[in-house]
């Protein structure tokens, strides 16, 4: 295969993978908002398109590098660049096929696991078990446990705060209006700060810790003021019985949830676009046979991932979100806000630490956290078990698929 064909194939497979991520994972990222009826299906698509894209483009490179060179060492293949390129192709195709199949079966598998499994499968068939950086794999496995727990704990405390300070208040609407700007400030603070501080690598803006903090605070004050203005227009009718006042509280949270939904989409884009483009990057570099010293993400590679996610989302994600929006009977804006805020924070922080975590895991953890804080009416633990089983299955299946595809490619083109 000529390098050009490899690059084109890698771009196609990378796009296919990104398409599947958009179609599958986006339901997890946006579903809580739609389920709580804070945003409509159409609005969810628009929000997701804008923020997935900007998340991928602005902070999307940290994890990509972990996936591309963390699991197997690309330098080990420097004399066999073609082998490495085929391996990356196999990884992309295997992961995309598995995610596509899983979406069809309704199984919520992690796209991150799929890629990791694919890389491992190819690494094992070429250089044996010893070629795998098991330390890195262990870190990733650990993050599977860490991310749902972290997401769960953060969401637990956010919902506890909401229920103590707002829902349990004698005048819940007044309390909601009082705390809503503060919550908006918090969301904005976490988001803007993590974006500015060592984020935005692609824009080459290097802020110091203090500067990033100051700018984040400035932006968040604006957010505070905007939300303050919006909620102050909501009328307070203290003569209504509590039961009637309650929906007004949720209206305040519906406004906040638009922010967390955007935030969720942003961090999802930042984290998950890497799954699609990490191996694509590797394949491109191997094919170009350039120096392996700097595996930096090119803009065009990131765009393929971002466009793919948005394409998958608008073509297939619409259907998925629709199912989700009807199925969740028990999401309210206050609960959705707590779960999304917790999950998005976890995803963003972990993604900045270079840990390829899964949005699905984190959101599952966050939802359970809200449930434990007495928020959710009922959680189906059997489904939870099935989800965990599908998480465990993903690695071996993706690995086997990738190994098989790699052998086929090698047989066809290298004899």
Partner 1 sequence: MGIFDLFRKSPFIAIGEMMREVMECTNRIPSLYDAFVNGDYEKVQQTAKEISDHEYRTDEIKNSIRQSLPNSIFMPVARGDLLQIITSMDAIADRTEDLGVLMTFKKIAVPEELKKKIDDFVKVVLKVVELSKSVIDELETLREASFTGPEARHIVELLDKINESEHESDVFQYDLTKIVLNTEGLDCASLMLWMKIIETTGDIANAAEKMANRIRLIISQ
Binding site for partner 1 (CB under 8 A): 27-28, 31, 35, 106-108, 163-164, 167-170, 172, 242-243, 246, 320, 323-324, 327-332, 360, 363-364, 367-368, 371, 373-387, 390
- Cβ-based nearer residue to partner 1, 49 or 367: 367
Q: Which has the closest alpha carbon to 266: 19, 18, 58, 39?
A: 58
Angle, helices 242-288/81-105, rounded to nearest 10 degrees: 150
Q: Which has the closest alpha carbon to 97: 410, 411, 405, 377?
A: 405
- Cβ-based nearer residue to partner 1, 23 or 216: 23
Q: Which long-range contacts (CB under 8 A, 24 or more apart) does 162-168 make?
A: 162/253, 162/334, 162/337, 162/338, 163/373, 163/374, 163/375, 166/249, 166/334, 167/249, 167/334
Residue with tokens 């359970």, as numbered in its chain: 368
Asked whether 347 and 28 are in contact (CB, 8 A), the reply is: no
- Cβ-based nearer residue to partner 1, 79 or 243: 243
Q: Give the C-alpha separation, 93 to 118, whole Å.
A: 9
The least CB distance from residue 37 to partner 1, in Å, is 14
The least CB distance from residue 167 to partner 1, in Å, is 5
The least CB distance from residue 368 to partner 1, in Å, is 8
- Cβ-based nearer residue to partner 1, 228 or 246: 246
* 3-class secondary-structure state, position 371: helix
The least CB distance from residue 119 to partner 1, in Å, is 24
The least CB distance from residue 99 to partner 1, in Å, is 12
DSSP 104-172: HHT----HHHHHHHHHHHHHHHHH-GGGB-HHHHHHHHHHHHHHHHHHHHHHHHHHHHHIIIIITSSSH
The least CB distance from residue 319 to partner 1, in Å, is 10
- Cβ-based nearer residue to partner 1, 364 or 409: 364
Q: Give the C-alpha separation, 318 to 335, whole Å.
A: 23
- Cβ-based nearer residue to partner 1, 29 or 309: 29
The least CB distance from residue 256 to partner 1, in Å, is 17
- Cβ-based nearer residue to partner 1, 121 or 371: 371
Q: Give the C-alpha separation, 151 to 292, whole Å.
A: 36
């Amino acid at each position: 295969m000529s390098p050009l064909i490899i690059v084109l194939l890698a771009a196609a497979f990378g796009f296919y993978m990104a398409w599947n991520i958009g179609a599958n994972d986006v339901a997890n990222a946006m579903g809580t908002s739609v389920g709580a009826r804070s945003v409509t299906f159409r609005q969810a698509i628009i929000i997701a398109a804008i923020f997935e894209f900007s998340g991928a483009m602005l902070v999307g490179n940290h994890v990509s590098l972990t996936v591309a060179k963390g699991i197997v060492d690309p330098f080990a293949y420097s004399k066999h660049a073609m082998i490495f390129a085929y391996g990356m192709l196999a990884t992309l195709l295997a992961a995309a096929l598995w995610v596509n199949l899983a979406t069809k079966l309704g199984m919520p598998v992690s796209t991150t696991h799929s890629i990791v499994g694919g890389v491992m499968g190819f690494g094992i068939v070429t250089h044996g078990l010893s070629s795998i950086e098991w330390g890195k794999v262990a870190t990733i496995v650990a993050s599977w446990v860490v991310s749902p727990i972290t997401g769960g704990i953060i969401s637990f405390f956010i919902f506890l705060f909401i229920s103590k300070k707002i829902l349990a208040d004698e005048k819940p609407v007044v309390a909601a209006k009082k705390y809503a700007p503060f919550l908006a400030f918090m969301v904005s603070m976490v988001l803007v700060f993590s974006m500015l501080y060592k984020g935005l690598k692609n824009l080459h803006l290097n802020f110091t810790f203090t500067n990033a903090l100051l700018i984040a605070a400035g932006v968040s004050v604006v957010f505070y003021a905007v939300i303050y203005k919006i909620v102050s227009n909501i009328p307070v009718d203290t003569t209504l019985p509590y039961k009637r006042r309650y929906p007004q509280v949720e209206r305040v949270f519906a406004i906040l949830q638009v922010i967390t939904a955007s935030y969720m989409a942003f961090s999802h884009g930042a984290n998950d676009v890497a799954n699609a483009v990490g191996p694509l990057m590797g394949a491109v570099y191997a094919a170009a046979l350039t120096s392996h010293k700097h595996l930096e993400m090119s803009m065009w590679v990131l765009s393929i991932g971002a466009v793919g996610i948005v394409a998958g989302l608008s073509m297939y994600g619409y259907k998925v979100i629709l199912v989700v929006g009807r199925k969740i009977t028990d999401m309210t804006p206050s609960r959705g806000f707590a779960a999304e805020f917790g999950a998005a924070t976890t995803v963003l922080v972990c993604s900045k630490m270079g840990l390829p975590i899964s949005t699905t895991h984190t959101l599952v953890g966050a939802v359970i956290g809200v449930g434990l804080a007495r928020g959710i009416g009922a959680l189906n633990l059997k489904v939870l078990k099935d989800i965990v089983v599908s998480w465990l299955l993903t690695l071996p299946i993706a690995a086997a698929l990738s190994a098989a595809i790699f052998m086929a490619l090698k047989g066809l083109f290298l004899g």
